[in-house]
Amino acid sequence: MGFESMWQALAPVGLDAKTGGYNRFAWDDADLACREWFGSAAKDRSMSVVEDGNGNLFAWWGDPDAGDAVVTGSHLDSVPDGGAYDGPLGVVSAFAAVDMLRTRGVQPRRPIAVACFADEEGTRFGVACAGSRLLTGALPPDQALLMHDRGGLSLAEVLHTRARDPRRLGPDPELLGGIGCFVELHIEQGRSLVHSGVAIGVATQIWPHGRWRFEFRGRADHAGTTAMADRCDPMLTYAMTALAANKQARLSDARATFGRVEVSPNGTNAIPSRVQAWLDARGRDEHVVSDLVGAIHRQAAARARRDGTQVSLSAESVTGAVAFDVALRDRIVTALGGVPVLDTGAGHDAGVLQAAGVPAAMLFVRNPTGVSHSPEEFAEPADCLAGIEALAAVLTELAA
């Protein structure tokens, strides 16, 4: 019933024994097993489970209809070959914090719920935080029903096979209006807390971020016969741009990554006609991000002139900063006796709820390597327990 036994019950679900990574994707068998685990964890605590029309789960301690609820939790799905902590740590810690409050005889004056949001990673259908976005209306249900997985199944078809009614998809103002605040505990994806030397931190904001597609065009030619001086090779322009992105991000204390590249015709003996590469850029404010992308683009264009290639840039998605509720954050920091506050570069359900007007906060648990979205993701057991202690203190402060 404690943290350890909950963790061990979840551990085999969706595990790839070869890599040590997890594969739990929206509505697949592993996700269904996680949902069943959630139901039994709630039942063990006599908490009533409500699933909204979007597949988000809420386990209630107190009256769901009383309003002004203190909700805590995270998600149970994963990226491909993901780590054990991203998501599950927040859900398991939420149940463990409830246990701690009860052991200590805390009588909440506000209802408390443990939440598990559906399809946070967006692995299967390509849209992150789909469950919380549907709940708040940020993702229109018509659009969501048309999302397809790589096997060609639409979300509507998948929901049918899982005995869910696709017509129930969409915003739920009543449910959302009953949430007084949301606190998400999450493993840190980075090493700020390692540098600070403490186990727990509190989020200030989610960085603005976006995806930009660079298209480098050159001239297809024979790799064996074309003299180096006669080439217009877009691979060179791309390569310089990837190095420039790294340098510029370091200079502006931001982040820039080229993780996806597509080459045409992608033949060993062919100078490419085209290289497409996607830039993921994030920074502490919108100016930092736009300056960063602008600087990378300028350097790409300069190199293109030298290579005899063309470069074009198009924004595929750009999301502004989400600042978490300041009053809630200050209350939490004080309740925890002064912990570090830190920005995060990743999107979260807490950010979706905050953007919809629900006061939200996040607690981060130290991650020794900083690695996430990978089997190497890890938190020390002592830090996990510190997370539960902190979350229990926050719930006590907010609900008691």
Binding site for a copy of itself (CB under 8 A): 79-81, 188-192, 207, 209, 211, 219-230, 233, 235-236, 238-240, 242-243, 246, 249-250, 255-261, 263, 265-273, 278, 280, 282, 344-347, 370-374, 376
133: Cα separation from own chain's centroid: 13
Q: How far is the CB of 300 from a copy of itself (least distance, A)?
A: 12
- CA–CA gap between residue 161 and residue 31 (Å, rounded): 14
Decide: residue 18, CB within 10 A, 0-12 exposed, 13-18 middle, 19+ buried: exposed
* Alpha carbon 73 to its chain's center: 13
The nearer residue to a copy of itself, 39 or 345, going by C-beta atoms, is 345
Closest by CA position to 21, among listed 371, 369, 348: 371
Min separation Cβ 246 and a copy of itself, Å:
6
Which of 272, 237, 288 is closest to 258 using CA atoms?
Answer: 237
**Min. distance of Cβ 386 from a copy of itself in angstroms?**
20
| Least Å from the CB of residue 239 to a copy of itself | 4
Which helix (H) or strand (E) element contains residue 115? strand 112-117
Please, which residue, 62 or 308, has the CB nearer to a copy of itself?
A: 308
Nearer CB in complex with a copy of itself: 163/228: 228
Would you say 134 and 170 are in contact if contact means Cβ atoms under 8 Å apart? yes
Taking the least distance from each CB to a copy of itself, the nearer of 138 and 371 is 371
- Distance, in Å, from the CA atom of 118 to the CA atom of 116, rounded to the nearest integer, reads 7
Q: What is the nearest approach in angstroms of a copy of itself to the Cβ of residue 196?
A: 13
What's the rounded Cα separation, in Å, for the pair 170 and 132? 10
Q: How far is CA 67 from CA 60, 98, 178, 229, in A?
A: 12, 19, 4, 71
Give the nearest distance from C-beta 238 to a copy of itself in angstroms: 8
Nearer to a copy of itself by Cβ, of 145 and 371: the residue is 371
Query: How open is the CA angle 282-285-289, to the nearest 5 degrees?
Result: 45
**Least separation in angstroms between CB 185 and a copy of itself:** 16
Query: Which is nearer to a copy of itself, 172 or 307 (by Cβ)?
Result: 307
Q: In this complex, which beta carbon is closest to a copy of itself, that of residue 43 or of residue 247?
A: 247
Q: How far is the CB of 33 from a copy of itself (least distance, A)?
A: 24
Contact 46, 112 (CB under 8 A): no
35 or 209, CB closer to a copy of itself? 209
Smallest separation (angstroms) from a copy of itself to the CB of 358? 22
Question: Which residues neighbour 236 within 8 Å (Cβ) at sequence distance 6 or greater?
Answer: 303, 307, 309
In angstroms and rounded to an integer, the radius of gyration of the C-alpha atoms of the chain is 23
Residues in CB range of 327: below 8 A, 6 or more apart:
359
Closer CB to a copy of itself, residue 39 or residue 368?
Answer: 368
